Structure 1
Amino acid sequence: MTGPVVVGVDGSASALAAVDAAAREARMRDAELHVIHAFTWPAMHAPPGASPLGPPAGALRESVDRLLAQATAQARNAAPGVKVSRAAIPGEKVTALEAQSRTAQLVVVGHRGSGGFRDVLLGSTAVHLSAHARCPVMVVRGRPDPAGPVAVAVDGSPQGQPAVAFAFAEAALRGADLLTVHAWSTWADHGEHHPGDPVDLVDLIGDAEQLQAQAEQFLAKALSGHRERYPELTVRTRVVRRRTRQALIEVSGSVQLMVVGARGRGGFTGMLMGSVSQAVLHHAWCPVTVVRSSL
């Protein structure tokens, strides 16, 4: 992996938590950390001209410099020795971060910025960037278990393979175990069966244990190529009969990071973000990294 780790800051508590996480990621990767703040004139509650209370540098510049200095100092405190650079970029946040993602190995953002509404679970910047960035995006949220494993959702689809590869590498970098999760369910499990609907798989095969065994074989096959590349990594597998989003959100309560693909086996062609990925981004109890299949 090449390129810097990039973190977007806006002065919010969520963004400062992202700075801590991004600094640690940069240290693990032996990479530079690039702290950026994107701004538009109306979004800054400060006049663009000189401040009557300070030097004639302009209140806007003073505000931006102060914000970046705070974030830079926090990054150096979180990961001493990491090279940290910073930049103020005029323009919209999502546009600036998406441009940065073209040369970054990872972009890190908080789950909700300073412009979000209090009751919103996830900010628009995190949602948009997870769907459009050209590198993996880590959305920092929740309270991760530092002693827990890295978890990854595995559905066996080609679209999900980059996320699996990222999770193996991330677990190795962190010196953590890897928990691979595959959830399977039938139409009856969704509680949406109606007269005239297709026959449920359990009704058809008549053996839930057989379906569970097939799911376990399916997961083992999906992981086979990755295990060989990381022979020292402890890999745990979990196959559960449950709706995928519910299973992943439950798992997120006891791990340090959840990794998902942007769109898996069930997504519609052309969709940038699947419903499972969006649900995990909104409700996970730990940071979530989204890896797009087109990376």
Structure 2
Amino acid sequence: MSGPVVVGVDGSRSNPAVVEAAAKAAERLGVGLELTQVVGWPAGAGRFGIPSWEMDGTGGYASARGVLAEAERQAHSAAPRVRISREVLVGKPENVLECEARTASLTVVGADGAQGYGGLRKGSLAGRLSARVSGPLLVVRGRPNPVGPVLLAVHGTSTLRGAAEFAFAEASARGADLVAVQLRNISAARPYGGSAHAMTEDEEDLALAGALAGLRERYPDVTLRCRRPRGRSRRALVEASAESQLLVVGARGRFGFVGSPLDPICRTALREADCPVALVHC
């Protein structure tokens, strides 16, 4: 997709890190950056997503434009060659950003808004978007290791190919190694209403080999390492994220519908990872 990188700007303490991550992502992808500030509905507002210049020009919109101007300066500093646009839209943030994400190459938000780098709060924007945005979603959190690898969570078969493609592309663009962590999980490849079964190690190896078929040839510059940690899968993933610059997780809601609950691996990544998390809906 050649659409822009869309970033939700909110003026919080974590906002500079979110804007910088989005600007660098746009630079890697070779696309524009769209800075989006979402404000609440004023009295008598009209249609969803209406631009602020069509509204009554109250101080709230002037403040939002000021936040966007500062975000643009931050983005330009991080990626001077990236084309930047900015807009103030009206509505619920999750609704507006979901709509903007439909034509985006990537959507970027902070983990928890005004509370900075802590765990993902219940009801946070990132949490609400994670099950709704159909394209890749980057949640900026933690303290990434800038020279660490890109980490790929391998947890089931139905989401693996799309996540692996995204992870290889990111590792290549960043000049980083790729580490695939094979986690114990229930197979996501099952019929609606069918019973789940635990995948054997042989089945997991076959699923990984199938997902990686052709990707190694397409990205010969990427060094791939595979790990199969023993013990608790989710804890092993969080520990590995502390050494990484990005964690990539494939996501498919229950029974494969966007908007349905995420699986435990995805929820753990969004809440506890110590580096940014790219959620790739497949």
Go from structure 1 to structure 2 and tell me whether the alpha carbon gap of 1:77 and 1:87 turns closer, same or farther (over 3 Å shift).
same
SS in 2 for 1:13: coil
Mapping of residues 9-158 of structure 1, within 5 Å = 9-41=9-41, 58-114=58-114, 121-122=120-121, 124-158=124-158
Alpha-carbon distance, 1:232 to partner: 2.1
Give the deviation of 1:273 after TM superposition: 1.3
Compute the RMSD of aligned alpha carbons: 2.6
State the secondary structure of the residue aligned to 2:165: helix
Distance 1:129 1:57 in 2: 29
Task: Work out the CA distance in 2 between the residues paired with 1:251 and 1:104.
Answer: 29
Structure 1 unpaired stretches of 5+: 43-55, 187-199, 202-210
Q: CA deviation at 1:156?
A: 4.6
Bigger Rg over Cα: 1
1:216, distance to aligned residue in structure 2 (A): 4.7
Q: Structure 2: state its 5+ residue gaps.
A: 43-55, 187-197
1:262–1:272 CA contact under 8 A, matched in 2: no
- Give the C-alpha shift of residue 261 in structure 1: 1.1
Which residue of structure 2 aligns with residue 179 of structure 1?
179
- In 2, the alpha carbon distance for the partners of 1:21 and 1:118 equals 14
Q: Which residue of structure 2 lines up, in the alignment, with residue 167 of structure 1?
A: 167
Q: What's the TM-score, normalizing by structure 1?
A: 0.79
Q: Is the 8 A contact 2:136 2:279 kept in 1?
A: yes
Distance 1:224 1:119, change over 3 A: closer
2:14 counterpart letter in structure 1: S
The answer to whether the aligner puts 1:236 opposite 2:225 as a matched pair is yes
* Count of aligned residue pairs for this structure pair: 255
Relative to 1, partners in 2 of residues 1:276 and 1:61: Cα closer, same or farther, differing over 3 Å? same
Partner of 1:280: 269
> Quick one: percent identity of the two aligned structures?
44
Secondary structure at the counterpart of residue 104 of structure 2: coil
SS at match of 2:234: helix
Letter in 1 for 2:231: R
What is the CA distance between 1:101 and its match in structure 2?
A: 0.5
Cα 1:61–1:2, aligned 2, differ >3 Å: closer, same or farther?
A: same
Q: In 1, distance between residues paired with 2:185 and 2:38?
A: 43
Partner amino acid for 2:232?
R
Structure 2: how far apart are the matches of 1:135 and 1:9?
19
User: Structure 2 CA distance, aligned partners of 1:273 and 1:74?
Assistant: 33
- Match in the other structure for 1:249: 238
Superposed, 1:183-198 pairs within 5 Å as 183-184=183-184
The superposition leaves residues 178-233 of structure 1 with CA deviations (integer Å, 9 ceiling, x where unpaired) of 111102379xxxxxxxxxxxxx99xxxxxxxxx76775565344323322221221
In 2: Cα distance, 1:134 partner to 1:215 partner: 25
Please give the alpha-carbon distance, in whole angstroms, between the structure 1 residues aligned to 2:117 and 2:157: 36
Distance 1:243 1:185, change over 3 A: farther
